Chain A
Amino acid sequence: TQLLEQSPQFLSIQEGENLTVYCNSSSVFSSLQWYRQEPGEGPVLLVTVVTGGEVKKLKRLTFQFGDARKDSSLHITAAQPGDTGLYLCAGARDYKLSFGAGTTVTVRA
């Protein structure tokens, strides 16, 4: 059983469309991180959010941490083929990172 539930599991969209990935838990975390992983490689950190209600923007990516620090979302505007990959959320607590199962995003040209 995953501590963090990600939805959807798979997402296939056309270039230029927007997408949102959700990460939910019943547990409170000291911080929440989003990673992107490409086939055959290790995950790469995109962002860390620490404060409840925090919103961070990185170019076309917007990350939000829920007020209660239990959930988060990742929104991509005008997706590009280069955004294709496995997106993982991870909650930090007591020096441990618990990962969600991931959302596989495919952006078609």
Chain B
Amino acid sequence: DSGVTQTPKHLITATGQRVTLRCSPRSGDLSVYWYQQSLDQGLQFLIQYYNGEERAKGNILERFSAQQFPDLHSELNLSSLELGDSALYFCASSVEGQSTDTQYFGPGTRLTVL
């Protein structure tokens, strides 16, 4: 158990819909990262937050958005969902969000878009 929690574990929805994935970091970690893992693209970095502020952006689509709240939990919002958005979405957290930090990954949310 990494100490990072993600809900829900599974999500099945239809194209065009909007969903919200939730992540609670490990106690004491200030930085949260979101990743997407699919069979054809592998594990892709989406976005990083540090203490409520966006720090780095990766290959995140404009239909996707995220935020980190004052209590440090984070949400990833996916809208106008397409079949290709079906994937595992991981949240990770680290103490300070530095490149050499250990990132602790949550168990993931499996999103299926039908």
Q: Which residues of B contact A (CB under 8 A)?
A: 2, 4, 33, 42-45, 48, 55-56, 58, 90, 92, 97-100, 102-108
Contact = CB atoms under 8 A, between A and B. Distances in A.
Contacts of B42: 2, 99-102
Contacts of A43: 43, 90, 105
Contact of B43 (A30, A31, A88, A94): A88
Contacts of A92: 99-100
Nearest to B9: A40
B55 A95 contact: yes
Chain A contact patch, size range:
20 to 34
B42, B45, B104: residue with the most chain A Cβ atoms closer than 10 Å: B42
A93 B107 contact: no
Interface in A18-57: 30-31, 40-45, 48, 50
9 contacts: A30-B99, A31-B99, A40-B108, A42-B105, A88-B43, A92-B100, A94-B56, A97-B103, A99-B43
Contacts of B48: 95-96
Nearest to B6: A42
A2 B108 CA distance: 22
Given A31-B99, A42-B92, A50-B100, A96 B107 contact: no
A7 interface: no
B107 A41 contact: yes
B84 to A, nearest CB: 17
A84 interface: no
B103 A45 contact: yes
Interface string A58-69: 000000000000
A27 to B, nearest CB: 13
